[in-house]
Structure 1
Amino acid sequence: MSNTNRTYDLVVWGATGVAGRLVAEYLTEQYTSDDLSLALGGRDETRLGELEATLVTHRSGWEELPVVIGDATEPESLRAIAEDTRVVCTTVGPYTTYGTPLVEACVSAGTDYCDLTGEVNWVREMIDRYHDDAVDAGARIVHSCGFDSIPADLATLLAQSYAIDEFGTPCDLVRIYLEDGRGGVSGGTMSSVVEVFRAASTDPLARQTLRNPYSLAPPGERDGVDPGAQSLPRKDPLRGEWTAPSPMAVVNERVIRRSNALLEYPWGREFECTEVAPVGPGLVGMMGASAVTAGLGLTTGALAFGPTREALRRFAFPEPGEGPTREEIENGYFRICVLGRGTATDGPFVVESRISADRDPGYGATAKMLSEAAMCLVNEDIDSPLAGGILTPAAAIGGPLADGLRRAGLMVEVSERVPDQT
C-alpha cells in the first residue's frame, strides 16, 4: 500500500501514557480534523476510549478520534497499525524493551516514525539492523524528537546553515550550553535511564556505544578527531566562564555527529561539538562546576553498579506511569544556547543560536517538539535529501522543524556574535 493511501495521517502510539497524552492534547488543540486524520493507539481499549471522550468533549473541530489497539508482544498487531497510517509517533519506552517491534513494522510498511528515545545503545542497534532496509523502503525512522535531542541538534544545524550562508564556511567547533531549566521527571524517563546502564553492564556493544563519540555514525565512519564529552570542570573557550559536564551530552553529541555524517559532512570531518552546563565565572564558578561534576559522577557511578541501580529504581525513582503534575509542566522552562566558531577569509566569526520554551522540558515542551516533528513528516514539510533511513531530527527534517517549533510557541533564533569571546 502506498504511504499516501492510508486510513490515518498519524497514530499517537502510547496515547494514554504521561507523554502520549500530552502529545494527543497538543495535536487536538493545535489542529482540527480538517488538518489531520489522527488516531490514538495503545494496548488498553478502555483507557483509550476514555481519553478519546475527554478530548472530543473539550476540543472544537474533533467529533471523533479513532482508537487502534496493538501490543509490542504481538508484532502482527503493530504491522497492521503501521500499514494503516502514514506516520507513527510513539512515546512508549523504555525503547530498548518495547521499541524494536514497532520500528520493524514501520520499516516493513514504509511508514514514517518518530520517537522520544535517549537510549543511544538502542539507537545504535536500530542503525545496524534497519538503516539500509529503511532507506530501501523510503521509511523515515526519526529518533530523539524531544528534549533529547531536538534543541541541540536543530540549533547546531541552524548555526551551521547561518555560517555557511553568511561566511561561506561552516563552524569548525560548536558548543551547546544547557543554560537553565526546570521540570519534573516521570517513571518512564527514569526507566529508560536505568535500561541504558543495565544494558551497558552486560552488553559489550552497549558499552562501546557509550564510550565512542562516533558510535552513531554509519558503519566504517565511527572514528574521528572529536574527543567526546567533557568529563571535568573547564573554563569555556567561547564564553570565558566555568562549565561542568552535561548529563545529556552522551545522547545529544552523538546525534549531532550522526546528523553531520548523514548529510555527507557539510560541516567537515574535523567538526567538533561539546555540550556543557555553564555555571559562572571566577572562583565561585569553578567551585560550582566542580560540585556539579562531582554530583553527576556519583549519580553515574550509582547507576553503573547493579545493587545501587536497583535501589534507585525501587526507592528513589517514580514508578512507570507516574509523571510531573500539570503545575510542574506549566511552570517549567528551558534555555539552550549554541555557539559556533569558524574562520572565514576575512577572519574569525562566532554564530549564536538559541532555543527555549516556557514549559517543562521533558514533557510540556517535549510534547510540542515531538508533535511538530510528526506534523513535518505528515505534511512533507521537509528540507532534506534523505528519503529514508534511521535518521536524526536535523537530517530528516531540517530547517522546517524550526518553523514548527515557533508555531508551537518555542523561541528559536540565530544570529552572528561579535567574535571577541573566542
Structure 2
Amino acid sequence: MTDKTFDIIVYGATSFVGQIITRYMHDQFADGSITWAIAGRSKAKLQQVSNEIGLDGIELLVADAEDKAALQALCARTTVVMSTVGPYALYGDTLVETCVESGTHYCDLTGEPQWIRKMHTRYEEAAQASGARIVHCCGFDSIPSDLGVHFLQSEAMKKFGQNCDRIDMRVVKMKGGASGGTIASMINMVKEASADAELRRELKDPYSLCPPNHGFTARQRDVRMEYDSEYGGWIAPFVMAAINTRVVHRSNALTGNSYGNDFRYEEATATGDGPSGKRMARLTSLGMGALMVGMAVPPIRWLLEKTVLPKPGEGPSKKEQLEGKFDLLFFGTTPNGDKVSCRVTGDRDPGYGSTAKMLSQAAACLAQDIPDDIPGRFWTPAALFGDTLIERLKAYAGLTFELRNE
C-alpha cells in the first residue's frame, strides 16, 4: 500500500466527534508524519470544518455511506479509513464491505456487538483473503478495557510466570457528557433485539464475538449491586460492560487463548463505601434497568428520545471535554492465587475528548506500526496493537497504564 496518497482518511469528519478528531489530527500531525484527508457526504460541511480549524492543504473528499463507487474511490487513495459514522448498524455496512474488498485497513468507534458479529460473519474470510485489517471498538469502548487487561496480563506474566485466570475491572471515576451517538446506537440495538428472539439470545452470550470453536467454557458472572471486598466498596452494573467484556474475550481467542480457556472477566461501576456507596449502587442499578426497559417500550422510547436523551451530533461543551476524565482499576488473580492490579486513566471526557485521541492513535498505529506479515482479519485493539498502542496512548493521548503497589 506504499503507493497510496494518504495514510489515513477521517470518514465522518463533520460529526461531533469527527470534528474533535479532525482538530486533534491537525494539531498532532502538523509535522507531516501522517498524511491524511477528511471525508463526508457534504462538501459544504467539510469546507466549514476546514475553515473553522484551518486545514490548509488537507484535502476534502465527498462520499456518502451508501455510495459504493464513491467509497471505492476513497479506499483506493488511503492505507486506513477511520470511521465515525454511527450508529454503525444503520450506516456502516457498505464501508466495511468496501474496505474488506479493497484490502484497505479500517478502524472505528462502534460499541454495537450485534453489528460487529454480523460483520465478522459476512466478511472475515474476505478480509483474510484481501489482507484488510479491520479493528472495531477503538474508543472508550473498548480500548481502556482491552488494553488494560493486556497490560495487566503482561505484568502478571513478568511477576508470576503465568497469566491471570480472573480479572475484575472497576470504574472508579468517569466524568464527561453523554454521547448522543452512543445513545442512538443503544436505542437501535434495543429496537433490533425487541423484534428478534435470536438476537436476544446472542446478546446474552459472553463469547458472541469470539471465533467459532474458541473453546471457552467459563461461566461469566452477571454483575449486580453488591459489596466488593477486593475493591473495598459497593459496585453496580457498568453500561459498557456488554461490549467491553466481549472484546476482551475475543482478544483472548485471537492470541491463542493466552488468558486461558477458563478466563473470567467482569466490569462494574464502583460507587464507594458505606451507606452512601450502597445508596448510589442501588440508584445506579435501578437507573440502568429503567433505561433499558424504557428504550424497549416504543412510547417511552419516543418520549426519552424527544425530551431526555442526547441526540446524534450533540455532545459536551469544550469545557466539559477538558474537565472530563476516567479512572479504571483492574484486579487480577492467577490460578496459583497471586494477585496483581493496575490503573488506567484518561485526561479528557471518555466519550469524546479521550475517544478522539484513542481512535486517532489507533489509526496511526494501523497505518504505520503493524508489520507487513500480520494477516488481514477482524482484529481487536489488544490482539493487533498491544504494547505498541499503549506506548502511543501514553505519549500522545493522555492515558496512563500503571501497575499498582500491592
Common fold: TM-score over 0.5: yes
Give 1:412 deviation, angstroms. 1.9
Closer/same/farther in 2, CA of residues 12 and 92 from structure 1, 3 Å limit: same
Alignment pair present for 1:278 and 2:270: yes
> What displacement does 1:243 show?
0.9
Report the alpha carbon displacement of residue 9 of structure 1 after superposing the two structures with TM.
0.7
Whether 1:233 and 2:225 are equivalent positions in the alignment is yes
Corresponding residue number in structure 1 for 2:293: 301
CA distance in 2, matches of 1:268, 1:222: 10
Provide the alpha-carbon RMSD of the alignment. Answer: 1.8
What do residues 251-298 of structure 1 show as CA deviations (whole Å, max 9, x unaligned)? 111110011011111110100000001122344433332221111111
Higher mean C-alpha displacement, 69-78 vs 96-105:
69-78
The offset of 1:317, in angstroms, is: 2.0
Counterpart residue number, 2:339: 350
What is the percent sequence identity of the aligned residues? 38
Counterpart of 1:60 in structure 2 is none
Whether the 8 Å contact between 1:147 and 1:366 is mirrored in structure 2 is: yes
Q: Deviations over 1:375-411 (max 9, x none)?
A: 10111257x9852211211112111111111122423
1:128 to 117, 121, 124: 121
In 1, the alpha carbon distance for the partners of 2:113 and 2:198 equals 11
CA contact (8 A) 2:347 2:399 kept: no
1:105 is aligned to 98
TM-score (norm 2): 0.95
Equivalences for 1:13-412 in 2 at 5 Å? 13-32=11-30, 34-56=32-54, 63-221=56-214, 224-230=217-223, 232-344=224-336, 348-381=337-370, 386-412=374-400
The residue matched to 1:362 in structure 2 has which SS?
A: helix
1:313-348 residue CA offsets vs partner (Å, 9 max, x unmatched): 22222332222211111111111111111144xxx3
Retained in 2: the 8 A contact 1:56–1:64?
A: no
Q: Is the 8 A contact 2:209 2:246 kept in 1?
A: yes
Unmatched runs of 5 consecutive residues or more in structure 1: 58-62
On the 8 A contact 1:253/1:274 being kept in 2, the answer is yes
1:351–1:414 contact (8 Å) kept in structure 2: no
Identify if the C-alpha distance between structure 1 residues 278 and 133 changes in structure 2 by more than 3 Å, giving closer, same or farther: same
The structural deviation recorded for 1:130 is 1.1
C-alpha contact 2:326 2:348 (8 A) present in aligned 1:
yes
CA distance, structure 1, for counterparts of residue 239 and residue 222 of structure 2: 10
Any conservation in 2 of the 1:52–1:64 contact (CA below 8 Å)?
A: no
Q: Which runs of 5+ in 2 are unaligned?
A: none
The count of corresponding residues between Structure 1 and Structure 2 is: 406
Contact 1:83 1:109 in 2 (8 A): yes
Q: Which amino acid aligns with 1:145?
A: C
Amino acid at match of 2:101: S
Deviation readout 1:213-267 (Å, 9 max, x if unpaired): 111111233862132431x212225223221111111111111001101111111
Q: Secondary structure at the match of 1:258?
A: helix
Measured against aligned partners, the alpha-carbon deviations of 1:175-216 in whole angstroms (never above 9, x if no partner) come to 111111111124322211111111111233431231111111
Following superposition, the deviation at residue 112 of structure 1 comes to 0.8
Instruction: Supply the distance in 2 between the matched residues of 1:391 and 1:157 (Cα, whole angstroms).
Output: 14
Give the letter aligned to residue 12 of structure 1.
V
| Partner AA of 1:248 in structure 2 | M
Which TM-score applies when normalising by structure 1?
0.92
Of 154-163 and 45-54, more deviation after overlay is shown by 45-54
The answer to whether the Cα contact below 8 Å between 1:213 and 1:228 also exists between their aligned partners in 2 is no
Find the aligned partners of 1:166 and 1:28 in 2 and give their Cα distance. 41
Alpha-carbon shift at residue 77 of structure 1 (Å): 1.0
